[in-house]
Amino acid sequence: MNEPEKILDYDVKQLRSRTIPDVKVLWKHSSENDATWENESEMKENHPHLFG
């Protein structure tokens, strides 16, 4: 899997009584069209350098 390059956007999904923060990730060697929405807490755990 490619390494993430930067965070492009932020969104929060509301599911019943839970909120789930997501981040749109630009991956290295990929275009912005290939950016994907990922769970913010997983990205913070695995790639903390993106959240500085």
CATH classification of the domain holding 42:
2.40.50.40
38 neighbors 23 (Cβ within 8 angstroms): yes
pLDDT band, very low/low/confident/very high, at 52 (cuts 50, 70, 90): confident
Q: What is the pLDDT of residue 17?
A: 94
Instruction: Enter the pTM of the model.
Output: 0.87
| DSSP character at residue 30 | -
Angle, CA of 11, 32 and 30, to the nearest 5°: 125
DSSP 3: P
β-strand pairing of 4-15 with 36-39:
unpaired
* Residue-number span of the structural domain to which 44 is assigned: 4-50
For the chain, the average pLDDT equals 95
Q: What is the pLDDT of residue 2?
A: 84
Domain count, the chain: 1
The arrangement of strands across the sheet holding 4-15 comes to: 4-15, 18-27, 36-39
